Amino acid sequence: DAGVIQSPRHEVTEMGQEVTLRCKPISGHNSLFWYRQTMMRGLELLIYFNNNVPIDDSGMPEDRFSAKMPNASFSTLKIQPSEPRDSAVYFCASRPTSGELFFGEGSRLTVL
Amino acid sequence: GESVGLHLPTLSVQEGDNSIINCAYSNSASDYFIWYKQESGKGPQFIIDIRSNMDKRQGQRVTVLLNKTVKHLSLQIAATQPGDSAVYFCAAYTSGTYKYIFGTGTRLKVLA
């Protein structure tokens, strides 16, 4: 299995631009998580999907952030407009019904 | 709110020595615990897990100990190698929820 696949691995953009991060979970996993990692705050849960349905988006910082999961094999996290404080590494993780999370390699976002 | 803390931000050990990384959690309802290893520029990787009905679990060169009375778990790495250098996270999970509460991480440095 290829594992959780994220793209892009690195993104540098200017303040105000739209950013779209993509994730392909492991086939057969029915739960998908988006996390943000910073030095100051560690790993923060942004949103959780179960069977493609958003269950909890209370971790999404504000309306500038949105996430979708149109099917079981694809999810996006969008930031519009982006701000410098959004600079972080964004991880997607998936899991089967229970057990440990399987993380992707992350998307490192830098907003100038 | 729930938290998971680590006792030391950085741990330096000599190659060949044993390493012990500690973690404390706050939610007594947590019943599943995971240790992750994160190398620079990569996503967290699963090392070992333990359920609350156990107090010890062993893997290859790694052992996790769980003390539910004081809400503490530790990761022991035997014969630490340079490849063990990374940041180690513990995560606490409560069945019936979807939330993994991650600690802030301990950076393990292996000295030659």
Residue B5 pLDDT level (bands cut at 50, 70, 90): low
Question: Is-contact A87 A72, C-beta < 8 A?
Answer: no
**Confidence tier at A26 by pLDDT (50, 70, 90):** very high
Q: Do A99 and B42 touch (CB under 8 A)?
A: no
Which residue type sits at A25?
P
- Choose from A9-18, A34-43, B8-17, B95-104 the range with maximum mean pLDDT: A9-18
- Work out the minimum CA distance from A64 to partner chain B, whole angstroms: 23
Identify the pLDDT of residue B99: 85
B14 part of contact set with chain A, CB < 8 Å? no
pLDDT in tens, B37-94: 999 999 999 999 999 999 999 999 999 999 999 999 999 999 999 999 999 999 999 9
Give chain B's count of helices (H) and strands (E): 0, 11
State both tokens at B100.
């993994």
Dihedral sign of CA atoms A79, A82, A85, A90 in order: positive
CA distance A23 to chain B (A): 13
The whole-number pLDDT of residue B3 equals: 63
Instruction: Examine the pLDDT at A105 and tell me if it is beyond 90.
Output: yes
Question: With 60 as the cut, is the pLDDT of residue B8 above it?
Answer: no
Question: DSSP string covering A50-96, please?
Answer: ETTEEEE-TT--STTEEEEEEETTEEEEEESS--GGG-EEEEEEEES
Cβ of A43 within 8 Å of Cβ of B46? The answer is no
**CB-CB neighbours of A65 under 10 Å:** 20
Q: Does B1 have pLDDT greater than 80?
A: no
pLDDT at B14: 97
Q: What is the pLDDT of residue B6?
A: 52
Give the burial class of B70: count Cβ atoms within 10 A of its Cβ; 0-12 exposed, 13-18 middle, 19 or more buried: exposed
Give pLDDT tens digits for A67-83: 999 999 999 999 999 99
Query: What whole-number percentage of chain A has pLDDT above 90?
Result: 88
Q: What are phi and psi of A94, to 5 degrees?
A: -135, 165
Q: Do the chains contact at B98 and A43, CB–CB below 8 Å?
A: no
